[in-house]
Structure 1
């Protein structure tokens, strides 16, 4: 393939990936405005946020392997078209139910494109050094784009209405679609490999049940019976899916891959990094706007060093990987991420310079983690399994985000509720112990002096909850780094012993 065509292919798939991952977090800053405009209930607000990752997770495995069969270019083009139409529908949604339906359509388009983006890179770049660099760019977009979402949302909301966070997708989709039709290489899929429709449905229902259970358990007022039922349904379908795959001559997902430590540790690292980033960012965006009273744009600008550092770290790590110990890069990147998160925990009230320095360190680590993890996943499978491997890696990223929002969000709510003690003179304030924004709204209805006291107490309680989120995220990253280091050292010793015994 011509050199220019290769790098244009990278630019095309990176543009599509940026749209997909930004859509995961751009609503963090737009949610208050669209909730007010559409008169969305608290339940509808949760569905607007959650339905996207829920559907993407469920559809990724089936659509990833479909690309292996049909060819990744046609699946990618169809996904772009669906994503563009869904963005237009979402931007002009007249009611919450319409927006939720549009988010489902967005998720369908994203699930069609995501495995194709990484698969096309794997198949386009034959040179190992170029491929590592290209995967580094992909990983930088994946981690940096998610962190950039609130920045973009804040900028758009400063100048336009809430629908602009979706409408901005449309011109990018149109340009990318034209370029993709002309430039992307057309490679025939493996038509000899059957597409397992039954298996696709089984894994979809399994992931749907599991992710729904996690999200239900993470609500402020969860129904544990519903969560348990969803978990049992998910576990049932995942069990029969795994058993079916183990009997197949050409499985949709080859679970034997997980026995290789480089592959399984990369999947785990991507999930941990995503959980820490998405969960921390959700808490941080609220802290900046509701506690420190920054505008959406100012909050987004304060977050900007994180995605910028991630974008720099991804390609640099990709260039380094062919010559480095890949296991050390993986656990070392998690360690750097954990130190950056711990630094922000200690310095989030310090001068802006120290806050920015901590966010830069965190971004560098996360960008390197995603590059090392993506490279390990994609380079440990044959080219004809690229779609399958890409879907596994991306499910780990999406599922990590779900776990991060649920686990860290639950900790945030629990600590906030436990530490908020309101004066008796405030009376009964509905939902004040559930969320900070509810407490601030209630405070606005009280006499001025009492309202200011309630607002101050609520912000102080949320500040403690924010600290708990940062501490948990840092601990998760550092524990993951230590665990992977120990596992790889044990594997290294076993390999040395095996070689010496020969």
Structure 2
């Protein structure tokens, strides 16, 4: 290869990365943009409370359950092929979802989006593993890839807020079309096809087992946070545990398993997966309460609230790129530990304020957290990929993406559920409310804000002050829990990644 050909090849690798960033941004945006559309969806489609929960949750349930099977299918049939099929299906279903007339139809569309979304994400990371074979270039590429998730999560409120201020609720789903069309065009020309040269046979039972295990786990986590412990929740968790054990035993007994669970015997691999999951846990849990504070306490619009988070996004991107240079001087394990400790510091900043904090304090806390997530996510994802053979990149990518989704669910369910429980126990409802108003105001800060706007100024102000104080108390407690979990995660990473 001549120098000119090598330079051209290097340039095309980075152009290919730009193409792969499109589905990453889309899935991350989709994770946060829907929350801002819920009020308008409720007004337009009049869903029941259960239907509204399914509209929000069904996407994550299907996506988490199918990531491992889709990663395995990508290894077998071609990762680029799966990426392009997923992009086509996701764009088409998103366009349909924008115009559905009923809540039931929207639930079905969201489930289909989860199905095609599961094709997208394992393919992106595994293609990066095959395109960037040089270690330093791969770390930079993964840093950009990881920053895409943070960027999409922060852009979701800004983009969604703008669209909802100017258009109908369905416009938030049409974002997928202009993002994925360039992927289809560029993917055919720029992305190389890659697959496992020795794939195993299609294992329908393993697919059913992992789908049942992951879906039951995610549902039980979300349900216990909303409704508390119950027999159905315990049954779902038990089903998840039983099918998960069955899946692992089946993989260990097959000559060519769908997922090589022996990878977890490698402490570097398992420690990196745990760091990946807990980093996302910290960020999503933080975003859950900071987005409410900025809008419901500080009174900012969705667009203004998103803009407050932009500096943290910039820090996330910079940290992910800087850590690529730092890994030349410090061990990967040390940098992952440092990133997790920065996450802990971000939560500590919120605690020190004594309440949810000023907008400036939250901006600083999110910037510190963003630096930690940028460092830990970049290195942990690189370790996950580099610790397995290239032929198994799809399976490893699927595990990484599953950790991402479970981390996101846990961040919302655990910290969000605790925050909601503390709010319910701490809010003091003034006399003079109807039974319906008391029930609504006692559930969430958003409900209290809505009820307060319907009351006389004095009574409304009294309710709002109590609700905001209860919410702030919950933020302090959940931040303390987040702080403790990040310190524990740093200790775990220190033990498992010593020889990374």
* Fold agreement, TM-score > 0.5: yes
What is the match of residue 346 of structure 1?
352
Q: Structure 2 unaligned segments of length 5 or more: list them.
A: 1-5
Q: Secondary structure at the match of 1:249?
A: coil
In 1, distance between residues paired with 2:249 and 2:193?
34
Determine helix, strand or coil for the equivalent of 1:100: helix
2:356–2:476 contact (8 Å) kept in structure 1:
no
Does residue 305 of the first structure (1) align with residue 314 of the second (2)?
A: no
Out of 82, 85, 90, the position equivalent to 2:89 is 82
Provide the rounded CA distance (Å) in 2 between the counterparts of 1:351 and 1:212.
34
Give TM-score, length-normalised by structure 1: 0.92
C-alpha distance in 2 between matches for 1:386 and 1:225: 39
Paired position in structure 1 for 2:255: 249
1:131 to 2:131 alignment: no
Report what 2:487 is aligned to.
478
- Of 204, 228, 247 in structure 1, the residue corresponding to residue 234 of structure 2 is 228
SS at structure 1 position matched to 2:143: helix
Structure 2: distance between partners of 1:148 and 1:269: 24
Q: Alpha carbons of 1:325 and 1:40: their partners in 2 closer, same or farther (altered >3 Å)?
A: same
- Compared CA separation, residues 286 and 349, structure 1 to 2 (3 A): closer
Equivalent residue number for residue 416 of structure 1: 423
Aligned to 2:460: 451
Would you say the 8 A contact 1:341–1:473 is kept in 2? yes
Inter-partner Cα distance in structure 2 for 1:322 and 1:96: 52
1:434 deviation in Å? Answer: 1.3
Shift of 1:45: 2.1
* Cα distance in 1 between the residues matched to 2:496 and 2:382: 19
SS in 1 for 2:100: coil
Q: Do 2:162 and 2:303's aligned partners in 1 also have CA atoms closer than 8 Å?
A: yes
* From 212, 216, 219, the counterpart of 2:219: 212
Give, in angstroms, the shift of residue 186 of structure 1: 2.5
Aligned partner of 2:476 in structure 1 is 467
Distance 1:421 1:192, change over 3 A: closer
Cα distance change on mapping 1:322 and 1:41 into 2, 3 Å = farther
CA–CA distance in structure 2, aligned partners of residues 16 and 165 of structure 1:
15
SS in 2 for 1:424: coil
Deviation at 1:296, TM superposition (A): 1.0
Query: What corresponds to 1:19 in structure 2?
Result: 26
Moved more, 17-26 or 55-64: 17-26
Measured after TM superposition, the shift of residue 182 of structure 1 is: 1.5
Bigger CA drift: 191-200 or 252-261? Answer: 191-200
Q: Taking structure 1 as reference, are residues 457 and 349 closer, same or farther at Cα in structure 2, changes over 3 Å only?
A: closer
Is the counterpart of residue 367 in structure 1 residue 374 in structure 2? yes
- 2:262 and 2:199 map into 1 onto residues whose CA distance is 21
State the 1:260 CA deviation.
Answer: 1.6
Contact between 2:344 and 2:487, CA under 8 Å: does it hold in 1? yes
Partner of residue 106, structure 1: 113
Match of 1:58 in 2: 65
Whether contact under 8 Å (1:72, 1:189) holds in the other structure is no
Task: Note the alpha carbon deviations across 1:44-88, whole angstroms, 9 max, x for none.
Answer: 222122111111110000000111111101001000001101211
Tell me the equivalent position of 2:150.
143
Contact 2:337 2:490 in 1 (8 A): yes
> Partner residue of 1:96?
103
- 1:311 deviates by 1.7
Partners in 2 of 1:147 and 1:293 — Cα distance? 18
Among 423, 426, 443, the alignment partner of 1:434 is 443
Match of 1:167, SS state, is coil
Cα-to-partner distance string for 1:144-184 (whole Å, 9 max, x where unaligned): 32233223222322333322221122011111111111211
Match of 2:3 in 1: none
The count of aligned residue pairs is 490
1:194 match: secondary structure: coil
Q: Which moved more, 1:458-467 or 1:13-22?
A: 458-467
Q: Retained in 2: the 8 A contact 1:128–1:322?
A: no
Between the aligned partners of 2:283 and 2:477, the Cα distance in structure 1 is 15
Matched, 1:279 2:279: no
Query: Is 1:158 the counterpart of 2:165 in the alignment?
Result: yes
Cα distance in 1 for residues equivalent to 2:459 and 2:264: 58
Does the CA-based 8 Å contact 2:196-2:392 persist in structure 1?
A: no
2:296 maps to which of 271, 287, 290: 290
CA shift for structure 1 position 283: 1.7
Cα offset, 1:89, TM superposition: 1.6
Q: Contact between 1:61 and 1:203, CA under 8 Å: does it hold in 2?
A: yes
Tell me the distance in 1 between the aligned counterparts of 2:18 and 2:426. Answer: 48
- Are the structure 2 counterparts of residues 444 and 142 from structure 1 closer, same or farther at C-alpha, using a change threshold of 3 Å? closer
CA contact (8 A) 1:284 1:466 kept: no
Q: 1:274 Cα deviation (Å)?
A: 1.1
Aligned residue for 1:430, secondary structure, equals helix
State the shift of 1:326 in Å: 0.8
Question: Structure 1, residues 405-460: CA drift from partner, whole Å, max 9, x if none?
Answer: 11111111111011112233446422322112222333344444222212221222
- CA apart distance, 1:479: 2.4
TM-score by length of 2: 0.93
